[in-house]
Structure 1
Amino acid sequence: MLKTAFQRYIDNFKGFSREIWILTIITFINRAGTMVLPFLSKYLKEDLGFSYSQVGWIMVCFGVGSMLGSWLGGKLSDKIGFYKIMIFSLLTSGLMFFVIQYITSFIGLCISMFAIMTVADMYRPAMFVSIGAYAKPENRTRALTLVRLAINLGFAAGPALGGLIIMNIGYNGLFWADGITCIVAILIFWIKVKEKKKSAFTDKEHPGEILTHSVFKDKPFWLFLFTCLISGILFFQMFTTIPLYHKEQFNLTEFQTGLLLTMNGILVFFCEMPIVSYVERKKINKVKVVAFGCVLMAVSMFLLLINTWVGILTIMMLFMTFAEMFAFPFSNSVALSRAPKGHEGRYMAIYTMSFSLAHILSAKVGMEIIEYFKKDGYQMNWFFMGSIGLVGSLCGYWVYKLIQKEHKLQ
């Protein structure tokens, strides 16, 4: 029985091209090095002594840079190709991480966070387009999931290592680790993967699911992005308000916070691919799965209203982890499937921008609610986040109905 289950798990990883595996490896190296992000709000608040509002504004600059980077990355991927964008983004952002640790003023950090995220997040839409070029259409959702597994496994290693680095070396060590891993990852990609101008899979036999020719007229896509935005706002609480809450409400150390995030990454590594394969096998509608993920995220936020028992943090993390496994791999796939050929970069840029906007809103709204309500700030924040999660899931169900109607008209 155990052998059969293991064999079935291994079978989920078959059928990928060499380039997809290399992309997965460099994504893992890059994400394992992303140690600054989970501790950024703590670094700004506790190490540099900024107020909640100032931390919120720095995170806004972080998010605005991320939005601009996503848009530029997508547009330039369609114009000059994803390959050049990926190399420029990781190499330059790696070097920028070395410099940013020496900037400690509020204005300086606002400008430098904006600049580094503009460059760093050009990578994301370019990477999504590269999956479209190097993976067969029937393998795309699994290929996206494989890369997400690498991201999550990297995130599993990153926060725990990051917590140890902070406790032993200090926050400066994180910036060095981040920069070095960016540069190592992209050098591997540059040496091992050759540039590909066009996908071999864009011939007449595999035309893709072309539903609309203008992204701005694609109503279901924009409503779907609203659900993605809400999911992102809730998910990013894990890197903005929740690490601070761990410390202030339950007195957890950076290492303990890192371990909770590590549990999230390990669970995703073992469970996400089987979930994706099951949904693909049973042909379950992907938009419905994303809406269900949004419901679970709302539940995870409401669970934090129980603030007298430390064990609730583990239960909340379990709900958030499964929510993430339902929401994110399929949202990637839905967004890519709606893009007409030659416009993948544009669609994936707008899709990734919705998560950048989520980062801005997640940090700023969360921090402002906590500051405004003072004593009950965290409680009000969890209630607000849970409520908008329910709105996002209803919107997702509406998108499902619209797409069903679309298919009937074709």
Structure 2
Amino acid sequence: MTLPVWVLLVGTLVNTVGSFLMLFLTLYLTQKGFSPFHAGLALGAWGAGRIAGAFVGGTIADRVGYRFAMALSMFSTAALITALIGAANLGNPWLVVLAALAAALLNGVWRPPAQAMITEATPPGHLVMVMAFWRLAFNLGVLVAPLLGALLSRVSWDLLFWVEAGSSALFGVLALTALPAVAAPASTPAAPSAPAPPTGYGRVLRDGAFVLFLFALLVNGIVYIQGPATLPLHLNGLGYRPEVFGALVSLNALVVICLEVPVTRLTQRMRPRTAVAAGMALTGIGLSLWSVELGIAGLVVATLVWTMGEVVASPSMFAYPGQVAPPHLRARYIAASTVANQIGYSVGPVLGTALWAGVGGAVFWICGALAAVAVLAVLAGVRTVDTVKASTPAEPESVAASTDADPKRVSEGAAVDGSVP
């Protein structure tokens, strides 16, 4: 892997290990004396801000460069989390909600430029595997964060968020000092007599095949999130203790962490269309099996199938937007895919729990049917990456377009680009 990729893997791990706000915000605020309504409103503002932040991040990254966008995101997040602590200590709920919204928006900016830089700094044949390692960094962070957060909260609730602000600032320092400065790729100008082509997200939405991929991500997000959203209600209705749900969720995390990288050694050889469609199909099959009452063994099998859907699809799903995007819109394509997925995760729990209240366990059969729709959208919309490679420069633009005048920085980037994971 290249030096920028290693830096981003470490930065992602540090940032995710310190991501406590989403997990503990409601507890933090209620401990401070805020009402559950205001605590929930602040958490909702955080979720909405993260989605909006991805849109903003795609625009900033494509216009001014990846390193600047990431550093801006991390330093601003650190400052705004500090402001949130101050607002909480003042006891003003509306300042807390505003600070949560602003912090989340700026926090959401970093991911599209990070993913775009990974795409440009990785030889195409290794990108799917590198995305598996990037997801591993995320998943390890997600595994450690709740445990570390619980320990810190025993010392001080404020300390919890001071540490998060510090981890964001540390990632910002890593971005500024260890990543190359990258010029935003220029678009190809239209001929004088030709009408100006659409730019920005208008250009993304004009890509009909990619819009089908976005639709598949949205539907897949709605389907996948029924695991943590609806499964506990279903298990409770069947008379299982909460420990059963906890064990199934832990099994999911363990399998993803242990198997995703080894499985990706095989799936990276597949076309993106095949890997993503197969993974989404497994997700739907696993969810459908949850509606079949076969005892604990059946729940374990269904959970393993659902989990393998994530393992098979996710690395290719993450790699694909950057592979097919025009270079000057790479971060926007990645941001659009991030937003589609996140909207699915946000809408899914509302739809799933409402359906469960009406039809019970049959909600998982409906999820299986929705997964089939997502698979069809992938088969219709996902293009062969080989058709894009012919128009992609052999040298990653993150090295060739460096705005640093430091030749040492440029030569370092060029030297590591030939390495493999």
So what's the TM-score if we normalise by structure 2? 0.71
For residue 26 of structure 1, what is the aligned residue in structure 2? Answer: 11
Q: Using the TM superposition, name which of 340-349 and 230-239 deviates more.
A: 230-239
The alpha-carbon distance between structure 1 residues 326 and 87, as it changes in their structure 2 partners (threshold 3 A), is: same
Q: Is residue 252–residue 303 contact of structure 2 (8 Å, CA) maintained in 1? A: yes
Q: Which residue of 2 aligns with 1:80?
A: 64
Residue of 227, 244, 251 corresponding to 2:216: 227
* Alignment correspondent of 1:190: 176
1:264-303 map, 5 Å: 264-281=252-269, 284-303=270-289
Partner of 1:209: none
Q: TM-score, normalised by structure 1?
A: 0.73
Q: Structure 1 residues 394 and 256, CA, compared in 2 at 3 Å: closer, same or farther?
A: closer
Distance change in 2, residues 1:316/1:28 (3 Å): farther
Name the aligned partner's letter for residue 195 of structure 1: A
Return the letter of the residue paired with 1:65: G
Match of 2:417 in 1: none
Cα pair distance change 1:247/1:123, threshold 3 Å: farther
Indicate the structure (1 or 2) with the bigger Cα radius of gyration.
2
Alignment correspondent of 1:134: 121
Q: Distance in 2 between matches of 1:285 and 1:163?
A: 42
**Residues of 1 paired with 2:212 and 2:170: CA distance?**
38
The match for 1:218 among 207, 221, 225 is 207
Change in Cα spacing, 1:223 to 1:256, as seen in structure 2 (3 Å) is closer
**8 Å contact from structure 1 (residues 70, 352) kept in 2:** yes
Q: Does 1:336 align with 2:318?
A: no
Distance apart, 1:73 and its partner CA? 0.5
Q: Which amino acid counterpart does residue 173 of structure 2 have in structure 1?
A: L
1:261 to partner: Cα distance: 4.9
What does 1:286-365 correspond to in 2, within 5 Å? 286-305=272-291, 314-365=300-351
CA shift, 1:229, in A, is 1.2
The answer as to 2:352 corresponding to 1:398 is no
Q: Which whole-Å CA distance do the structure 2 matches of 1:64 and 1:111 have between them?
A: 12
Gaps of 5+ in 1: 1-15, 200-211
- Identity of paired residues, percent? 21
Q: Distance in 1 between matches of 2:212 and 2:311?
A: 21
Unmatched segments (≥5 aa) in structure 2: 186-197, 392-421
For the 8 Å contact 1:159–1:262, the answer to whether it is kept is no
CA 220–41 in structure 1, closer or farther in 2 if over 3 Å, else same? farther
Provide the rounded CA distance (Å) in 2 between the counterparts of 1:88 and 1:389: 37
Aligned mate of 1:157, from 130, 135, 144: 144
The whole-number CA distance in structure 2 between the counterparts of 1:89 and 1:74 is: 12
Cα distance between partner residues in 1 of 2:160 and 2:304: 27
| Residues 32-51 of structure 1 mapped to structure 2, 5 A cutoff | 32-37=17-22, 50=36
**Aligned-partner Cα distance in 1 for 2:42–2:107:** 16
SS of match in other structure, 1:195: coil
Give 3-state SS (helix, strand or coil) of 1:135's partner.
coil
